[in-house]
Structure 1
Amino acid sequence: MDERDAVDAVDEPVTTTSLLDDLRALGVEAGDTLLVHSSLGSLGWVCGGAPAVVDALRAAVTEDGTLVVPTHSTQNSDPTDWSDPPVPEGWVERIRETMPPYRPAVTPTRGMGAIPECVRDYPDVRRSDHPSLSFAAWGADAEFVVGDHGLDDALGEPSPLARVYDLAGDVLLLGVGHDANTSLHLAEYRADLPTERVTEGAATLVDGERRWVEYDDIEQDTGDFPDLGRAFEREVGLADGRVGTATAKLASQPRLVDFAVDWFEANR
């Protein structure tokens, strides 16, 4: 929604304090590991914008917990794979040669929204080193979650998603649907399914020098994520409620991933 619509959507401003109250009512507790997918525009008119939301999320999990967000920079990828929009074939090598290298403190997110982009700017946040599919984390287990993000299988076992699973973390969908739920990708790797391996590429720094690196991954598909999410909500359940004006859903990430593994094997 635009700012006029955001004002009209609420009776009074949404604030850090009101957001914290809403998060507590939903079930977010101090000490939680919380992986957040979000839409700032869904929350109504927030006094202070994205920083107010980030402050509320940090206050909700406290320093004893860990806040995690996807900070993907998919603009730094192999241009032969681009489709929205594609680029002329003659541009491909030039893009590979000149793409600025991934730098955690500098490289912006793409398509993640204002809240993850804000999170990555906080000085006490740790961002993982994957040049295309990074995550950022703050709190007690931030280093454990993002400190060793492997290049291959970027959303699989070497990823922050698997570390959130290890910590028995939760997923918070804040005004977004399961199509944005990256934890379902972890289930794709764990499910016993035929998968096609693909070669990806990105620019990064190696020993302080810019290099174009290639890595292997599975071909991912989000097309059935909404159906999977609805099945999980129907058969397992989660907490849902309002945070600001947004529909919010809170689920155990291990229960979600384990369910998704079985669902993929039965339905994909």
Structure 2
Amino acid sequence: MSEKERALIARTHEQFGTCLTAERLKNDLEKLGVSSGMTLLVHCSLSKIGWICGGPVTLTQVLLDLLGPDGTLIMPSHTCDNSDPKYWQYPPVPSEWFDIIRQSTPAYQPDITPTLYMGKLAETFRKWPGVLRSEHPQHSMIASGRKAKLIIDKHYDSCSEQSPLARLYDLYDNGYVLLLGVEHENNTSLHLAEYRFYTRNNIEKNFINGASVINSQTNKPYWFQWNDYDYHSEDFNQIGYAFDSIQGNTNIGKVGLAQCRLMKQHLLVDFAINWMNQNRMK
């Protein structure tokens, strides 16, 4: 057992006197507002919640049970290592490796390629029976439930109108975002706002993106490049906290040890576009 896990056990025991169970998580999530029939995009730091008996399997099952047969659970399954190495920073690699990496990176395959930096919950959910995954080689998303196919289908562009984020927005009052122990800097829906901010202000795509994909003719990997926006999240916490400050926008409460947020995605996106117009244009 690692020291990190020992510390997590100690914090959980100090706060609750026992480990976190499915029943406790269910009660906390219901108090926050998670309910049957929602289409719910979840971002999660499992360790912030506390020591859960059954870990990510327990939390995944609790979320699916709460959403019920009419609900849909969504998580990001991004693969940022399938990208141009010249942009890597955490950590960077020597420039003489760039061409080798481009030529040698395995092509994105929805059923095989693991997530990266998405956390244990998303990687567990990726392997869950019946989960669907979108086709984008870097910014894929995974979903299970009534609207799963609608959400992940035809994911042609990172965070644009042809993305799961836009399909969630289209659901309006039935489309929600849940932040479990993470801040708005991890709130991927703000990239949809960013995309709309760019396009409505006639800002051109000036970022050359790349990924290894399968050539449908030869069934072999090749390096594919496209023009994209240079998305960033430096001001996402500012945007999110401003959104939270308006009464009725965000349900804030504890799930286990973690401060968590539940919000309607379309309200957040519309607010963020206006915020960017007022602040990024200065």
Q: Give, in angstroms, the shift of residue 134 of structure 1.
A: 0.5
Hey, what does 1:198 align to over in structure 2? 207
CA shift digits 1:80-110 (9 cap, x unpaired): 1112222111111111111011111211111
CA distance in 1, matches of 2:79, 2:58: 23
Equivalence map 1:74-113=2 (5 Å): 74-113=80-119
Hey, what does 1:229 align to over in structure 2? 240
- 1:210 and 2:210 aligned: no
CA distance in 2, matches of 1:135, 1:68: 7
Gaps of 5+ in 1: none
Gaps of 5+ in 2: none
- 1:167 and 2:171 aligned: yes
Q: What SS does structure 1 have at the residue aligned with 2:245? A: helix
Could you list the structure 1 runs, at least 4 aligned residues long, displaced by more than 4 angstroms after superposition. Answer: none
Paired letter, 1:109 = T
Hey, what does 2:136 align to over in structure 1? 130
Paired letter, 1:179 = E
Q: Give, in angstroms, the shift of residue 55 of structure 1.
A: 0.7
CA shift digits 1:59-85 (9 cap, x unpaired): 111121110000100001111111222
- 1:155 and 2:167 aligned: no
> Do 2:131 and 2:143's aligned partners in 1 also have CA atoms closer than 8 Å?
yes
CA distance in 1, matches of 2:221, 2:213: 6
Q: Give, in angstroms, the shift of residue 190 of structure 1.
A: 1.1
Choose which of 234, 237, 262 in structure 1 pairs with 2:274: 262
- TM-score computed with the length of structure 2 as normaliser: 0.91
CA distance in 1, matches of 2:155, 2:227: 14
- TM-score computed with the length of structure 1 as normaliser: 0.96
Hey, what does 1:220 align to over in structure 2? 231
> Do 1:195 and 1:219's aligned partners in 2 also have CA atoms closer than 8 Å?
no
Q: Give, in angstroms, the shift of residue 228 of structure 1.
A: 0.6
> Do 1:187 and 1:257's aligned partners in 2 also have CA atoms closer than 8 Å?
yes
CA distance in 2, matches of 1:186, 1:3: 35
Paired letter, 2:161 = E
Percent sequence identity is 42
CA shift digits 1:137-162 (9 cap, x unpaired): 01000000002100x3x111111000
Hey, what does 1:3 align to over in structure 2? 5
**Aligned residue pairs: how many?**
266
Choose which of 245, 248, 267 in structure 1 pairs with 2:257: 245
In terms of mean alpha carbon deviation, does 1-10 or 221-230 score higher? 1-10
- 1:54 and 2:45 aligned: no
CA distance in 2, matches of 1:201, 1:212: 7
